[in-house]
Amino acid sequence: MIKSLFEKIGGMRILTKDSLEFQTFIDKMNLVDVEMNTGLFTLNNKRGGKSQVASNLDRFLISENLMLENKEIIAEVLPFGGSDHWAIQMEIKGINILRNKPFRFENIWLSHPDFFNNIKNWWTKDLQIQGTRMFLLHKRLKHIKLRLKDWNINEFDNIFVEKKSVENKMKELNQALIKEAFDKNKSNQVDKYHHEWDNLCKQEEVFWRQKYRV
């Protein structure tokens, strides 16, 4: 049974005939309302006191059968996006078999100012090995590949880590604004983190555009 479609704080509550019929349809189809991990409301007018309006406008409805499968379902309200409305996201995780990822050259590496110097230093490093020229070439290419993998993690994976950290801070502040009403200092902090988040999103966009050659 789905929770009420009309969770709301402040404002007027209007139950239309269509809304009631939709709730009846959901019950008959045995749909499940997926609970959000990060909060209930997806809209807040960002006003304080009696003028505040918070509402649960968005939700995920899934079949009961999916709930019974061996899958992890994660639903969350996404960070503040500049308006009074939050988007929502759902991820369904199954049982995956880990496989070794093939080595691929990433075009974004060329944009890093230290890339060519790093390649030169890694290539000229004395590996203290002996053998035929082909064997030495193979070992040196393998050495370059391993160094590139480590360098890629240190230099580019932190984009996603930083973005996730900023998102978590924004989520905490957003939930505080919903629960504790409007607060000017918290609202300013949200704006600050949103600016950081926006810059990280642009960096991430460059990464994926180069990765998939869009």
Look at residue 135 and tell me if it is in a domain. yes
| Summary mean pLDDT of the chain | 77
Residue 79: count of CB within 10 angstroms of its CB? 21
Which helix or strand (DSSP H or E) is residue 173 part of? helix 133-180
31-47: average pLDDT: 74
Give backbone dihedrals phi and psi of 200, rounded to 5 degrees, phi first: -65, -35
* Confidence grade of residue 119 (pLDDT, cut at 50, 70, 90): very high
Which residues lie below 8 Å from residue 125, measured CB to CB, with a gap of 6+? 143
Residue 3 is assigned to a structural domain of this protein: no
Same domain, 196 and 129: yes
**What is the model's pLDDT at position 147?**
92
Other C-beta atoms within 10 Å of 42: how many?
A: 20
Q: Is 196 exposed, middle or buried (0-12, 13-18, 19+ CB in 10 A)?
A: middle
Instruction: For 193-209, give the DSSP string.
Output: HHHHHHHHHHHHHHHHH
Number of domains in the chain: 2
Note the pLDDT of residue 144. Answer: 92
Q: Which residues have C-beta within 8 Å of that of residue 97, sequence separation ≥ 6? A: none
What pLDDT does 117 receive? 93
**Co-location of 71 and 119 in the same domain:** no
- CA distance linking residue 106 with residue 104, whole number of Å: 6
Please check whether residue 42 lies inside any domain of the structure: yes
Give the residue numbers spanning the domain of 181. Answer: 107-212
Residues 56 and 126 in one domain: no
> Do the bridges between strand 8-9 and strand 54-55 make them parallel or antiparallel, or are there none, so unpaired?
antiparallel
Q: Between these two residues, 159 and 192, which has the higher pLDDT value? A: 192
Write down which residue in 54, 70, 93 finishes a domain.
93
The predicted pLDDT at position 4 comes to: 47
Tell me the whole-structure pTM to 2 decimals: 0.38
Least confident of 54-58, 152-156, 191-195: 54-58
- Could you tell me if 70 and 131 lie in one domain? no
Domain boundary among 93, 117, 151: 93
Contacts of 115 (CB under 8 A, 6+ apart): 109
Q: In the structure encoding, which two tokens stand for residue 106, read together?
A: 């990433």
120 and 61 in a common domain = no
